[in-house]
């Protein structure tokens, strides 16, 4: 499932984030369908994650439609991808899975969470549920000298927020700003801004989803505990 940034689909998702969600490596994608129109990324800006987004996820897991997720349902891997606003909200989705009593305890697992410059204007809780097996965060921490796509936005410019993980999760946090003189997909690390993260991280994200080797990885940042 892909959650886009602080925009509505009628305005179009971040182009490079959409390209990730359309990649062949993203199999079994849960689409956001409304009135016959479907998008590969979910609107989640100013939405209630529990009532507006999570039901789509639960319905996809509940393959036999009996309002329970157990051994009678088709097994799958659950991968959550989020950019910007959606990068924070995928963490809430993971917590929803962890605490949903309709899901058999052994199946309350999120296989992968991928956060692309996760950011929200208030002070969100970035703690990762222990039920998340693997998490990758790709972000930037320094606003480019030339400016940023989010500079004029409320609370901008946006800088990616770091996850906080328990020892139960395999969490990796990468920061492009810490490699200012290296080039990522033709962009210097010092010039990587908020809207650039999906483009520069595309190959690495595809590798994460296919258990392959990541490409052009920026420096890794130690992940704090909750």
Q: What is the pLDDT of residue 46?
A: 85
What ranges in 39-102 are assigned the alpha helix state H? 54-61, 85-99
Q: What is the pLDDT of residue 211?
A: 82
Confirm if 197 and 205 have CB atoms less than 8 A apart: no
H or E stretch at 166: none
pTM higher than 0.75: yes
Rounded distance between C-alpha atoms, residue 118 and residue 137, angstroms: 8
Q: What is the pLDDT of residue 223?
A: 95
Backbone angles phi, psi at 97, to 5 degrees: -60, -45
Backbone angles phi, psi at 201, to 5 degrees: -100, 0
Q: What is the pLDDT of residue 91?
A: 98
Write the CB contacts of 73 (distance below 8 Å, at least 6 apart in sequence): 61, 62, 63, 64
DSSP 197: H
Mean pLDDT by 10 residues, the chain (226 residues): 78 83 92 87 91 96 98 96 97 98 98 98 94 97 95 92 91 98 96 97 94 85 93
Q: What is the pLDDT of residue 12?
A: 58
């Amino acid at each position: 499932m892909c959650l886009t940034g602080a925009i509505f689909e009628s305005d179009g998702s971040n182009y490079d984030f959409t390209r990730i969600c359309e990649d062949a490596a993203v199999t079994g994608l849960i689409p956001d369908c409304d009135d016959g129109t479907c998008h590969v990324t979910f609107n989640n800006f100013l939405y209630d994650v529990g009532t507006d987004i999570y039901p789509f996820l639960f319905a996809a897991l509940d393959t036999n439609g009996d309002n329970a997720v157990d051994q009678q349902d088709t097994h799958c891997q659950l991968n959550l991808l989020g950019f910007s606003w959606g990068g924070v909200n995928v963490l809430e989705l993971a917590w929803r899975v962890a605490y949903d009593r309709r899901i058999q305890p052994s199946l309350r697992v999120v296989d992968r969470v991928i956060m692309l410059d996760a950011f929200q204007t208030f002070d969100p809780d970035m703690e990762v549920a222990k039920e998340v097996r693997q998490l990758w965060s790709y972000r930037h921490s320094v606003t480019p000298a030339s400016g940023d796509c989010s500079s004029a936005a409320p609370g901008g410019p946006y800088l990616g927020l770091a996850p906080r993980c328990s020892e139960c999760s395999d969490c990796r946090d990468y920061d492009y700003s810490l490699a200012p003189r290296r080039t990522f997909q033709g962009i210097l690390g010092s010039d990587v801004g908020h809207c650039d993260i999906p483009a520069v991280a595309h190959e690495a994200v595809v590798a994460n989803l296919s258990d392959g080797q990541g490409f052009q990885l920026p420096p890794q940042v130690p992940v704090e505990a909750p």
